[in-house]
Amino acid sequence: MARGRKTLYRDTYPTIAAALRRRGYTLDEVARVFGVYPQTIRKWANQHPDFDVALKETKDEADAQVEDSLLKRALGYDYTETEVYKSSTGGKKTVRVVEKKKHIPPNVTAMIFWLKNRRPDLWRDILRHELEGAKDGPPIEIKILGKDKLGKEDAGSGSD
């Protein structure tokens, strides 16, 4: 005789989970939709390979689409827009279709975001500086220069 509580898992869950992940849902959000804890989602993924695949592969697909869109936006792109004009004069109806070539220029913010994430070695905001004193000399003295509380220039030492 089986012990424990009956599982809430259903055969339709992989399809639902895949649709949610394609829309960018996190595992916590998927769990909320199913009305379970995130640990349950992980347990189901371990017990049901099709559910695990649905969670992982569709997330990767969505991420790839966003990456492609970000790159496209960073570089700029051309597209064709179709406009349909309908008119009627003297009982005669006419339809005119006009295709216009449009250009979206490169987006600097998208470029910066792409480079900071793909090439952090060259594009990170934080630079590391290392100081070394003489091997036989005294320790390096650090002074913090700035204004004191009254707005006067202050050249105090870094050891408060």
pLDDT band at residue 149 under the 50/70/90 scheme: low
Looking at residue 157, its pLDDT comes to 47
3-state secondary structure the chain: CCCCCCCCCCCCHHHHHHHHHHCCCCHHHHHHHHCCCHHHHHHHHHHCHHHHHHHHHHHHHHHHHHHHHHHHHHHCEEEEEEEEEEEEECCEEEEEEEEEEEEECCCHHHHHHHHHHHCHHHHCCCCCCCCCCCCCCCCCCCEEEEECCCCCEEEEECCC
Looking at residue 159, its pLDDT comes to 45
Query: For the segment 11-66, what is each residue's pLDDT rounded down to a tens digit?
Result: 999 999 999 988 888 999 999 999 999 999 999 999 999 999 999 888 888 888 88
Mean pLDDT to the nearest integer, 63-89: 92
